[in-house]
Amino acid sequence: MQTDIEHSAAATMRPCLDLETIANARDLGGLTAHAGRQIRQNKLYRSANPALGCAADLDKLHALQLDIVVDFRSSGEKSPGEEAFGERFEWLAVPVLDGAMSMDVLLPRLRASNAAQMHGFMLDVYRDFPVRYRDAFRTFLRHAEAGKTLYYHCTAGKDRTGFASLLLLSALGVSQDDIVANYLESNHWNQRFNEKMLAGVGQIGVTAEAMLPLLEVRPEYIEASMDAITATYGSLERFLSDDLGVDTALLRAHYLAS
């Protein structure tokens, strides 16, 4: 059964970018932000890993005139076939999770865990984002402050990318309800991949029940990040302004339509 906020996400969902092989690719343009202004189209993009996209998809990304692509994955999550992407785009590694999402690390955990344990693991991951990986997300926001056309991703474009979007969209003045709705869209855009993964996990000794918390985004995950921010920094506003040093006025000048 859908929660109210999941229903809201489905009702306000806009199309993904027209890509064949790169999942969960979205333009953040059009979201309502500070003072009722909208985020500019064709300036801020989020997605799953684009580096193994087909030639046609990479041509479409090139046509977006991206200034920088920020990659939240660690080196252990990357494959040798990705070098060509780095030759074509300004691709910056800002690793988050220190390889904890690489399959050689995840697979033993998945085999030994049930659904509740994996759910708890994901809550811990989200609690770590604003504390343990604060500096990485600060670096991401510094690149946003430059006002360039920015594309950012992780592996599935949902967890690290989702938290980065929470920070960026909050700084731009998007409502928390709209931020969470945008976050939950990953369940829709990754549905085909998730179904394929769940159908095949038995072959590697993992139950579908244990895998599902890893594949989905859930409201309580992003709430865990918010709770960690409040407990550690006092509020999201103080985290952005005092700890991360975000210039919200500059971000809004760059990315909000007049």
Interaxial angle between packed helices 248-255 and 134-145, expressed in degrees from 0 to 180 and rounded to the nearest 10? 50
Q: Distance (Å, rounded) from C-alpha 119 to C-alpha 207?
A: 14
Q: Distance (Å, rounded) from C-alpha 88 to C-alpha 84?
A: 6
**HSE-CB of 208 using CA atoms within 13 angstroms:** 7
From the candidates 31, 154, 222, 224, which is the catalytic residue? Answer: 154
Helix (H) or strand (E) holding 192: helix 191-200
Residue 154: active-site member: yes
Burial grade of 60 (CB within 10 A; 0-12, 13-18, 19 or more): middle
DSSP-derived 3-state class of residue 154:
coil
List the catalytic residues: 154
